[in-house]
Amino acid sequence: MIALAGLFAAAFLAATPVPFQSEVVFLALLASGWGAVGLVVVASVGNVLGSCVTYALGRALAGFQDHRWFPLTPAQMDRASGWFRRWGVWVLLLSWAPGGDLAVGMAGVLRVPVWQFLILVTIAKTARFCVVACAGAAVMA
User: In the prediction, which pLDDT does 124 show?
Assistant: 97
pLDDT of residue 77: 77
Q: What angle do CA 52, 88, 105 make, to 5 degrees?
A: 30
Mean pLDDT of 126-139: 95
pLDDT at residue 3, rounded to an integer: 94
The mean-pLDDT minimum among 10-24, 41-55, 67-81 falls in 67-81
8-state DSSP, 90: G
The domain limits of the chain are 2-140
Mean pLDDT of the chain: 91
Q: What is the 3-state secondary structure (H, E, C) of 15-28?
A: CCCCCCCCHHHHHH
Residue 62's pLDDT band, with cuts at 50, 70 and 90, is confident
Q: How far apart are alpha carbons 1 and 127 in whole angstroms?
A: 24
Question: Is this model's pTM higher than 0.85 or not?
Answer: yes
